[in-house]
Structure 1
């Protein structure tokens, strides 16, 4: 004995205008998605280095760094050296991830390789 099973696609039920409720969601999905894409991630390694070296970067500075990394990404930069008054960060612009961090004194004696861009913030 054999059975034939036939599947039919479900048709979506579209509510009429009186059944739909509009909620004011702030921010919109597009804005939230755009903001999430612009936010820098900090790798576990970089977080450890920031803590070990007592490097603190305020939200305003992080926002500026994030903005500049996004600009670098749009220009085709993959890995960038970001220099601030107190820190040197290596950032993967493609993934928008801080890879490592060191204080400026430590960075003065370093040779940086495998970067194809630099962002200098004072």
Structure 2
């Protein structure tokens, strides 16, 4: 079986069906990338944070996401980089520059938090 390399992907050269499937998946990736670049996705949730949220039964509704986005904007204006945000019954640690939630926990689970430069209580 022979292969060819196209745009950093290894593709079998004899099977056009596989190439078509690869190209379709690249289109989906391009759409997602364009949406992200255009700013439609204002915050990200890391894989680690997603796992912790599942384990701790923490759910974010669209309004919660909006409030957290606003808080990140306020923190960025103040020069924050890594922040602890207390919101409702949860504590969120986020990278403000990357607009990424790093981890999440119930606020009663917060004992010691290190490597942050700011804290915000979201009301």
After TM superposition, the score normalised by the length of structure 2 is: 0.65
Retained in 1: the 8 A contact 2:71–2:122?
A: no
Task: Using the TM superposition, name which of 67-76 and 43-52 deviates more.
Answer: 67-76
Query: Offset of 1:35 from its aligned partner?
Result: 3.9
Figure out how many residues of one structure are paired with residues of the other and give that number: 88
Q: Residue 55 of structure 1 aligns to a residue in which SS?
A: coil
List alignment gaps of at least 5 residues for structure 1: 1-28
Rg bigger for which structure?
1
Point out the structure with the larger helix share: 2
State which of 26, 47, 50 in structure 2 corresponds to 1:47.
50
Structure 2: stretches of 5+ with no match in the other structure: 1-33
Tell me the SS of whatever aligns to 2:101: strand
Partner of 1:111: 112
In 1, distance between residues paired with 2:95 and 2:39? 18
Question: When the two structures are superposed, what TM-score results if normalisation uses the length of structure 1?
Answer: 0.66
Instruction: Name the counterpart of 2:91.
Output: 88
Aligned to 2:68: 65
